[in-house]
Amino acid sequence: MSQLQNDLLLKALRKEKVERPPVWMMRQAGRYLPDYIKLRNKYDFFTRVQTPELATAITLQPVDQVGVDAAIIFSDILVIPQAMGLEVLMEEGKGPSLPKTIMTQQDVDALNTENAAEHLKYVLDALSLTKKELNGRVPLIGFAGAPWTLLCYMIEGKGSKTWDKAKQFAYTEPKLAHSLLQKITTITIEYLKAQVRAGADTVQVFDSWAGSLSPADFKQFAQPYLLQIADALKDDAPVILFPKGTWYALKELSESSASGIGIDWTITPQVARQLTNNNITLQGNFDPAKLLAPIPQIKQWVKEMIDDFGAQNYIANLGHGITPNVPVDHAKAFVEAVKEYKTGN
């Protein structure tokens, strides 16, 4: 395996001293890049995800074109429900839908949790190929959706602003909800371990809809499964947890086996540092909508953000995925502003 030429991300996750923070962007491989749009016009979504050569090409685009310090494999969180036996449809511009939702104990019992690596071999092949193509330039990030977020899709069957059905399911059938969450957790752990074996240097767990829960409910239906994943992976690779919108859980999550926590823009860097007692690497938290501002303004805001977090134990990133309407040179300006950052200025 080639030695990493740029290991800033891994250094930051190990809390080692860095000359500047590493930078990458959630959803960096995708819809704001003209070259991605060309592939999107040619191949449907799951063809892009399930063809290792296409997934690799898409994963490398932001490394080549935007200059980020890490590649994140092009895939989707809903490959896990697929591997568990559920159909997932993806319509351009509409988002995902699952024709058959989970409603009963029988539905949960019927879900497959075996052979994740076999069912998801295409992701592992894409990771191995990407690792080879990267040739040690930057680390490679693998990822999975968190159990609570996947439960949301498996119960609702599509995206939602409020996730009422999923929450109703959790609150009225807690035992069933926990058995589903545990099944998802079991296969996710196996899947992430396989990703590390295939070449992922670190893994991120996306809990995009965790913020729909109250602090007490997050602690019951989301946190235990995030911690279980972090514990299971801690000897394999550094784990970054990103439960969006759950600043209230920062203190407890910072005492977990995770190496990093992603945060969104609803909390200040100072408060996040205070709650985590600076004992874990923080990642975030630039609002992607701000990437539409003029470039000098973006650069100014990025500098202020790093000043506020501090350059150490920190990964510069967005507070959620980059949006399709962001001009590539604005994304580049975000990355360049981090690269130009001088510690101590």
Residue 344 has pLDDT above 90, yes or no: no
Using pLDDT thresholds of 50, 70 and 90, give the confidence band for residue 306: very high
Q: Which of 153, 191, 314, 341 is catalytic?
A: 153
197 belongs to the catalytic site: no
> Residue 1: which pLDDT band, with cuts at 50, 70 and 90?
low
pTM of the predicted protein model: 0.98
Is-catalytic flag, 31?
yes
Indicate the domain borders of the chain: 8-339
Which pLDDT score is estimated for 325? 97
Output the average pLDDT for the chain.
Answer: 97
Confidence of residue 91 (pLDDT cuts 50, 70, 90): confident
176 — pLDDT class (breaks 50, 70, 90): very high
Q: What percent of the chain has pLDDT over 70?
A: 99
DSSP 78-126: THHHHHTT---EEETTTEEE-SS---SHHHHHHS--S-HHHHTHHHHHH
Residue of 7, 69, 76, 264 with catalytic role: 76
**Does residue 153 carry a catalytic annotation?**
yes
Domain 8-339 has CATH 3.40.605.10: no
Residues at the annotated binding site? 27-31, 46, 76, 153, 208, 320
Instruction: Give the model confidence (pLDDT) of 214-261 as tens digits.
Output: 999 999 999 999 999 999 999 999 999 999 999 999 999 999 999 999
- DSSP-derived 3-state class of residue 261: strand
Taking the C-alpha atoms of residue 341 and residue 187, their distance in angstroms, rounded to an integer, is 40
Binding site listing for substrate: 27-31, 46, 76, 153, 208, 320
Tell me the per-residue pLDDT of 102-134, one tens digit each, with 9 for 90 and over.
999 999 999 999 999 999 999 999 999 999 999
pLDDT on residue 93? 79
